[in-house]
Amino acid sequence: MNRRDLLKSAAGATLALKTGGLAAQGSGLIEKPIPGTDETLPAIGIGTNRYSVGDDQENLQLLQTLRTFSQLGGTVIDTAPMYRSSETILGRLIDELEIRDRIFLATKSDRDRKDGGPTRVDNSFQQLRTEVVDLMQVHNLRGLDMLPTLREMQSIGQVRYLGITTSRTAQFPDFIRVMRNEKLDFIQVNYALNDREAAGTILPLAQDLGLAVLVNVPLGRGRLFRAVQGQQLPGWAADFGARSWAQFFLKYVISHPAVTCAIPGMRRISHVEDNLGAATGALPTPAQRARQEAWFDSL
């Protein structure tokens, strides 16, 4: 079997596990479909921007966090080569926990071809210790000339899905242009209760184009928690099952019909338990979402 056939076989086995085995586990988490496929993803994943190789205690904390995340049914793990040594530590921890076949692993390409883009992507595979990446994303539109290379990798099964990312509202006009002009499977965008511009532009377009949506900084870069510091959760939050501020904010994000999965950063077991709770029970209705917006805007 040559490398091309091996990669296709690996991708097929991974897909079978994700579309069948994970659902059979019955984690109880709300799952959302990847448009145009039979595959679903839990509505809360994990962002690893603050993951890096540390001392034994720090590494153990991250190991326990990922173990809990997987045990509770989490699957989506998002990283990037520019996130310090995030890919390196994730490769180690995923191997140690033996969970590669149970996760949806996303990373990014962030260099032009002339600046070493192909080498950078190859290094991501090595650091993550994987033959197949579930989602490869052009990071903040940097290195769009890598898309033909990434599509070739997708054609042989080395990359399952292809996407683009942004975390800056100022980049939305260029982002929309690329969404319209390139064949993509996913986008990743900033969206939160205090950062709603994507809902008027990016998210409706993603629905029209049939693109899955990952949401970064869904907790508003910490500004949401600062805005409600010292306040009690509104009683009506119980109507859609929010038991904490994190769940209140995350349920708002994942209740948008275009959103597939939100990826808050999580470095502690308590963060995992709280945030994954947002993907259980009810989600806000359109009327309840409007109430959340009006309430927050009145602060």
Q: How far is it, in rounded angstroms, from Cα 274 to Cα 105? A: 22
Tell me if 57 is assigned to some domain: yes
- Check residue 141 and give its pLDDT: 98
Tell me if 120 is assigned to some domain: yes
List, in sequence order, every residue forming a beta bridge with 228; answer none if it has no partner: none
- Check residue 7 and give its pLDDT: 52
- Check residue 219 and give its pLDDT: 98
pLDDT tens digits for range 137-157: 999 999 999 999 999 999 999
CA dist 226 to 193, 234, 274, 281, Å?
13, 16, 18, 26
Tell me if 59 is assigned to some domain: yes
Instruction: Please tell me the number of Cα atoms within 13 Å of 203 on its side-chain side.
Output: 20
**DSSP assignment string, 177-239:** HHHHHS--SEEEEE-BTTB-GGGGTHHHHHHHHT-EEEEESTTGGGHHHHHTTTPPPPGGGGG
Question: CB burial class (10 A; 0-12, 13-18, 19+) of residue 169?
Answer: middle
Task: State both tokens at 181.
Answer: 């002009």
Tell me if 91 is assigned to some domain: yes
Tell me if 29 is assigned to some domain: no
Per-block mean pLDDT, blocks of 10 residues, the chain (299 long): 47 46 59 98 97 96 98 98 96 98 98 96 98 98 97 98 98 98 98 98 98 98 96 97 98 98 97 98 98 97
> With DSSP H G I counted as helix, E B as strand and the rest as coil, what are the percentages for the chain, rounded to 5?
50, 15, 30
Domain tally, the chain: 1
- Looking at residue 141, which CATH number applies to its domain? 3.20.20.100
State the residue range of the domain holding 80. 3-24+37-297
Q: State how beta strands 31-33 and 40-42 pair.
A: antiparallel
DSSP 50: T
Tell me if 130 is assigned to some domain: yes
| 87 Cβ contact list (under 8 Å, min separation 6) | 79, 80, 81, 107, 124, 127, 128
Tell me if 32 is assigned to some domain: no
- Check residue 25 and give its pLDDT: 43
- Check residue 6 and give its pLDDT: 45
Q: Tell me the residue length of the chain.
A: 299
Tell me if 30 is assigned to some domain: no
- Check residue 118 and give its pLDDT: 97
Task: State both tokens at 283.
Answer: 């989600």
CA dist 293 to 12, 274, 286, Å?
42, 22, 11
Q: Which residues of 113-138 are buried (b: 16+ CB within 10 A; e: fewer)?
A: eeeebeebbeebbebbebbbbbbbbb
Kindly report whether the global pTM for this prediction surpasses the value 0.75: yes
